Chain A
Amino acid sequence: MQEDKVGPGAYLALVFAAVFFSGLLGGNEWYGVFDFTTLNGTFGKVVSKVSLDGETLTTATSAFRGTGGNGAMDGFLFALGLIPAVMFALGMINVLEHYGALRAARRLLTPLLRPLLGIPGTTGLAMIGSLQSTDVGASLTRSLSDDGQLTENEKDVFAMFQFSAGAMITNFFSSGAILFTLVAIDGSTAVPTSIGACIGVMFIMKIVGANLMRLVLAITNKKVSR
């Protein structure tokens, strides 16, 4: 890929991408228009159960997958729900790439990603995306690799970064954060740490894991070339 000029528009596109995929502006306020997850939306809920509770009729609702699904059938419907996100993400990335975001990302992140993970700065957007969505991270990594921008070893190191604590931010906030609402018998908060500390530990370990992969690859490559 030729080294194009990186102008202010490219940096603006990059800042937009970082904010858009970070979940920073999530929620149904007006600024949600700058958030991927908010614009991606959700499927509506359908009634899954109706029961008579004394005099009142109560209905339970669930996602379009229904309740109690399992196996291949459930997996298919679950996967169906992932398709809009992948299409939306790659559509947006194509637009942002057109405005130079990827070039700006590479310019800014190369000096950091090389020493930290041994991967090129072009992976910056995929890395930002992977913290919020495994599918976005994986699809972007696949297209980078298909475009020949990642070597086989770099791809494995980056895959390792994504595979441990996949979609860390989204997953932790959608289920792990519940732990911090638990209370002990005496009414005090049960978990003696913060969400931020857990996120920090996970991010550090993701980098450690990727470097373990890097180390193993370096050792095995040496053995092969001997």
Chain B
Amino acid sequence: MSTPQSNPVITDIFVVGARKGWNIATSSTLPNVVMAFIIIKALEITGALKGLGILFSPLMGLFGLPGEAAAVLIGGWMSMGGGIGVAIGLFDKGIITGEHLAILAPAIYLMGSQVQYLGRILGVIGTNAKRIPLMIVISIINAFLAMLLMRIII
């Protein structure tokens, strides 16, 4: 085992790390989350969120889902919990079934909360901005492949 030269107290080692955490949290996490929440608000009040739902609905049929299910994925893209909320609401109205929920569940997470995670993951890591659209596209591909996979499994 490696023995350090001087034996620092375990609490001191913790505090050094915690200070690193404070610096990352205040200089990266916090400003990025604030920005994400502003974007979500802007999309909501301009009605862009609703417009996206109409635009993408024909695509959903390919995955054995009704057009309304697009709202679940779009909701999920904004926030995972929101996607689940929309899914439960549609299930309650009888628009989507339990099978549809099974197909949608992994997909919601695979493309989930990305507006927020642009800041909380990519912003904190320091990903080059020109790579971000590609990462969003790959996440959406992930989600759609998962829907096909879930159709086979269930």
Contact = CB atoms under 8 A, between A and B. Distances in A.
Given A175-B84, A191-B105, A70 B41 contact: yes
B69 to A, nearest CB: 14
A72 B121 contact: no
Given A87-B21, A91-B14, A201-B149, A138 B1 contact: no
A186 B135 CA distance: 42
Q: Is the interface of A mostly helix, strand, loop or mixed?
A: helix
Contact of B1 (A10, A159, A179): A10
Interface residues of B, number: 73
Contacts of A201: 106, 146, 149-150, 153
A168 interface: yes
A75 B121 contact: no
A143 B146 CA distance: 32
B9 to A, nearest CB: 11
A191 B102 contact: yes
A176 interface: yes
Contacts of B29: 79, 82-83, 86, 135, 139
A141 B38 CA distance: 26
Contacts of B87: 179
A115 interface: no
Contacts of B32: 79
Given A91-B18, A134-B120, A172 B109 contact: yes
B57 interface: no
A8 interface: yes
Interface of A: 4-5, 7-10, 70-72, 74-76, 78-80, 82-83, 86-95, 98, 100, 134-135, 137-139, 141-143, 145, 152, 155-156, 159-160, 162-166, 168, 171-172, 174-176, 178-179, 182, 184, 189-193, 197-198, 201-202, 204-206, 208-209, 212-213, 216
| Among all A-B residue pairs, the 6 with the closest Cβ atoms | A94-B17, A75-B37, A190-B98, A90-B21, A7-B1, A91-B18
